[in-house]
């Protein structure tokens, strides 16, 4: 007789586990039998903890699975496993150690073990020489802390775990320190532990004695913030359309000309650039850098470790990057940092563009110009010389511009004029880099330039006042708010001129700066407009070239007037300065009045933005009152590497790059070539379509017939045709 094996309780543990979960009361005796067997096996295992006991492994997982069914019996079971791991974790077999940890994770998921006890145990187990176990523990710690803080943050638990981690970073085991640091970084990136305490604990690892720990901490401060999901861009598109429409409507004119069309194109390009800047999120980990409690002391301590230690060059670069970001963001004073970088500024230096980036990042307005000027002169002497290649010269000029954009007072007037002489250099990359430097000081401090290099002044640049060292330009009102008063007058039927005064000329605003303008412009202006379509950055230099050509005669006339009638020109200048100051005071009063009397809406801010954009293209002629500039040169918190390596030169593309551009151009269009336009794809084709797939020998006689025939051949063919028709009749 065959014995049935369907029911072998209590030896069949998986079946018993299933039955206990369904009916715990009925199978309590079988469970107690297995529990007693577990206790006996455990006592034997404690005598030889380094051995692998598969029987104990199965029973431990079985008890962890059914622990919620008998909580009173298994009340001490979690603590037994914790005690075994705490006392024998260094000698346990890897498989047994992993089984005990998995059982504790199951018990934690069922709520039979507090998170503090388990996580503190797992942190201590990170010292084990078992990579699989450390990876498992890291994943569980991150998931467990994330689950605890999912609905609301548990401040008490987080504080306890952070204190424990702070002690772990001081451990002598490098693996445990590195794993603890990785866990804290992952929790920060998940926005769970994103407070100042976590950041400052990670900051202490930047001067750790372990190289891997130090590199991980430095990468954290250099790395990027977690990218957020891109929101719908419909709102930004609508804002761009509204702003463009407002600017176009405010620049209506009776007579169309090429010059006015170009000015409207400039307005649209300015709006697009501003929208791009607003839509771009910060790429770098600003939040972590801003949460450091003592940035000055932190930067000084890192710099000391850098000077004393002999690290690899890559680690030095990361350390210099962090220090330069701290100096630039918090406007710190570490004067030894600049001479340290100065010795590396050579064209042949490895990663020299990054070093130039660090110099620019460490420059800010509060650094004394005497500290920056030596490094600026070294940069010019080593890079901006004709013995170097054009690319080296362009990179040097770009680095000078990046430094001067953050610390304008570092530039000497004589040095600036020497560098601007490269604006007509034979190489395009050097020429564009020099012109970008000239454009920077046109917006920052035009007085440092020669009169012919200042370009045609606009309403946004005419009233720029150069600030002295440590001087701040603060305003108690919103710049440009006086435009709202003009809008109010227009709504009441009062026509307003550009300067804010009432007028009777129909209210058309002329942005050209001249009362009458011929429709035909010079060929130079047309060439400049054609070149604008190539790329935005090149067009800036082309515009400057056109402005230089157009203003050169006017500047020479002014200089002659100054030389011939010195007293008269001085009186004129004094009068113009008084007019400027009066206009500034009047505009400030109007703007303050608007800001104090009403709450500005979104439409008001759009009108102010449109007026500010209009100022950037409206030429301030001598016959018109000049307006105050309310916008400073936009400065980012950090310098990107593209600002230094931005060389205006068309590179030769390889085959892969050309194919990539071709593929991008083919996206979103119909397939090129012949298209089968039959409604029924199974229907027959025409003879013309069939001819394309035939061999040449089959159709060469028809192709030959297309050749121009002689008169005699035509007679013969006509005769044959007539004979054939006669036969058919």
612, 479 in Cβ contact below 8 A? yes
The pTM for the full model equals: 0.66
Q: CA–CA separation, 298 vs 285, rounded Å? A: 17
Report pLDDT for 349.
93
- What tokens does 682 get? 């199974």
404, 437 in Cβ contact below 8 A? yes
Report pLDDT for 321.
94
- What tokens does 628 get? 């105050």
405, 635 in Cβ contact below 8 A? yes
282, 268 in Cβ contact below 8 A? no
Q: CA–CA separation, 591 vs 600, rounded Å? A: 12
- Is the omega angle on the peptide bond into residue 321 within 30 degrees of 0, that is, cis? no
Report pLDDT for 486.
65
Q: CA–CA separation, 602 vs 87, rounded Å? A: 67
Give the residues of the chain that fall short of pLDDT 50: 1-4, 225-238, 242, 280-285, 494-568, 622-634
* Residues across the chain: 729
Q: CA–CA separation, 398 vs 433, rounded Å? A: 6
User: What distances in angstroms separate CA 624 from CA 371, 500, 508, 609, one per listed residue?
Assistant: 42, 12, 16, 22
Report pLDDT for 539.
40
> At CA 524, angle to CA 523 and CA 529, rounded to 5?
95
In the chain, residues under CATH classification 1.25.10 are 13-222
Q: CA–CA separation, 71 vs 28, rounded Å? A: 12
**The listed CATH number (2.60.40, 1.25.10, 1.10.3210, 1.10.8) that belongs to domain 13-222:** 1.25.10
Helix (H) or strand (E) holding 166: helix 155-168
Report pLDDT for 469.
81
Residue whose structure tokens are 């999901």: 229
Furthest C-alpha separation in the chain = 133
Buried b (16+ CB within 10 A) or exposed e, 457-491: bbbbbbbbeeeeeeeeeeeebbbbbbbbbbeeeee
Q: CA–CA separation, 313 vs 306, rounded Å? A: 11
Q: CA–CA separation, 459 vs 625, rounded Å? A: 9
For the purposes of burial, counting CB atoms within 10 Å of the CB of 379, is it exposed (0-12), middle (13-18) or buried (19 or more)?
buried
Whole-angstrom distance between the N-terminal and C-terminal Cα of the chain? Answer: 104
- What tokens does 543 get? 């515009």
**Chain centroid, CA 64 distance in Å:** 48
How does pLDDT run across 482-514, given as a tens digit for each residue?
777 666 655 555 444 444 444 443 333 333 333
Q: Which is it for the CA torsion 181, 187, 193, 199, positive or negative?
A: positive
Report pLDDT for 362.
94
């Amino acid at each position: 007789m065959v014995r049935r094996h369907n029911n072998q309780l209590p030896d069949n543990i998986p079946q018993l586990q299933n039955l206990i979960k369904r009916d715990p009361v009925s199978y309590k005796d079988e469970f107690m039998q297995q529990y007693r067997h577990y206790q006996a096996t455990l006592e034997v295992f404690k005598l030889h903890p380094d051995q692998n006991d598969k029987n104990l492994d199965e029973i431990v997982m079985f008890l962890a699975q059914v622990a919620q069914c008998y909580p009173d019996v298994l009340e001490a079971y979690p603590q037994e496993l914790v005690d075994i791991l705490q006392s024998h974790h260094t000698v346990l077999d890897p498989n047994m150690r992993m089984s005990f940890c998995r059982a504790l994770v199951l018990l934690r998921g069922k709520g039979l073990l507090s998170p503090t006890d388990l996580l503190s145990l797992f942190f201590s187990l990170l010292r084990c020489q078992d990579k699989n176990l450390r990876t498992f523990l890291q994943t569980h710690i991150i998931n467990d802390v994330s689950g605890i803080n999912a609905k609301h943050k548990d401040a008490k638990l987080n504080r306890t775990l952070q204190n424990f981690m702070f002690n772990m970073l001081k451990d002598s085991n490098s693996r445990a320190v590195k794993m603890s640091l990785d866990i804290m970084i992952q929790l920060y990136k998940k926005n769970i532990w994103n407070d100042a305490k976590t950041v400052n604990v990670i900051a202490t690892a930047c001067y750790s004695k372990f190289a891997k720990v130090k590199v991980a901490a430095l990468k954290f401060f250099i790395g990027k913030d977690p990218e957020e999901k891109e929101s719908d861009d419909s709102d930004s598109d609508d804002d761009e359309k509204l702003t463009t429409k407002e600017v176009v409507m405010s620049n209506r004119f009776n007579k169309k000309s090429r010059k006015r069309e170009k000015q409207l194109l400039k307005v649209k390009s300015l709006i697009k650039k501003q929208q791009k800047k607003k839509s771009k999120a910060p790429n770098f980990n600003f939040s972590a850098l801003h949460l450091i409690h003592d940035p000055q002391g932190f930067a000084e301590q890192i710099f000391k470790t850098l000077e004393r230690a002999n690290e690899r060059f890559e680690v030095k670069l990361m350390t210099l990057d962090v220090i330069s970001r701290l100096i630039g963001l918090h406007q710190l004073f570490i004067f030894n940092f600049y001479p340290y970088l100065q010795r590396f500024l050579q064209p042949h230096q490895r990663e020299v563009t990054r070093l130039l980036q660090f110099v620019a990042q460490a420059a800010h307005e509060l650094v004394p110009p005497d500290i920056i000027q030596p490094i600026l002169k070294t940069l010019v002497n080593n890079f901006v010389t004709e013995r170097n290649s054009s690319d080296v010269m362009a990179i040097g000029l770009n680095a000078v511009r990046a430094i001067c954009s953050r610390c304008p007072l570092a530039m000497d007037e004589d040095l600036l004029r020497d560098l601007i002489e490269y604006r007509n250099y034979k190489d395009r990359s050097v020429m564009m880099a020099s012109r970008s430097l000239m454009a920077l000081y046109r917006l920052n401090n035009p007085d440092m330039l020669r009169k012919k290099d200042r370009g045609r002044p606009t309403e946004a640049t005419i009233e720029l006042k150069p600030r002295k060292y440590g001087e701040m330009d603060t305003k108690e009102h919103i710049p440009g708010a006086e435009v709202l008063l003009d809008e109010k007058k227009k709504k009441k039927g009062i026509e307003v001129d550009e300067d804010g005064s009432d007028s009777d000329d129909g209210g058309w605003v002329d942005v050209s700066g001249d009362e009458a303008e011929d429709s035909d412009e010079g060929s130079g202006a047309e060439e400049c407009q054609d070149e604008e379509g190539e790329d935005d950055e090149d067009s800036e230099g082309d515009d400057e070239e056109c402005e230089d050509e157009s203003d050169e005669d006017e500047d020479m006339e002014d200089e002659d007037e100054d030389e011939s009638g010195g007293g008269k020109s001085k009186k004129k200048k004094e009068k113009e300065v008084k007019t400027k100051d009066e206009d500034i005071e009047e505009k400030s009063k109007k703007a303050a009045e608007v800001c104090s009397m009403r709450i500005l809406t979104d439409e008001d801010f759009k009108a102010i933005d449109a007026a500010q954009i209009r100022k950037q293209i409206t030429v301030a002629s001598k016959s018109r009152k000049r307006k105050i500039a309310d916008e400073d040169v936009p400065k980012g918190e950090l310098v990107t590497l593209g600002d230094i390596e931005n060389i205006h030169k068309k590179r030769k593309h390889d085959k892969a790059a050309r194919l990539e551009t071709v593929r991008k151009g083919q996206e979103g269009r119909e397939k090129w070539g012949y298209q089968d336009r039959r409604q029924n794809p199974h229907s027959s084709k025409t003879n013309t379509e069939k001819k394309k797939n035939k061999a040449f020998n089959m159709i060469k006689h028809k192709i030959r017939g297309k050749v121009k025939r002689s008169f005699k051949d035509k007679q013969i063919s006509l005769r044959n045709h007539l004979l054939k028709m006669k036969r058919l009749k």
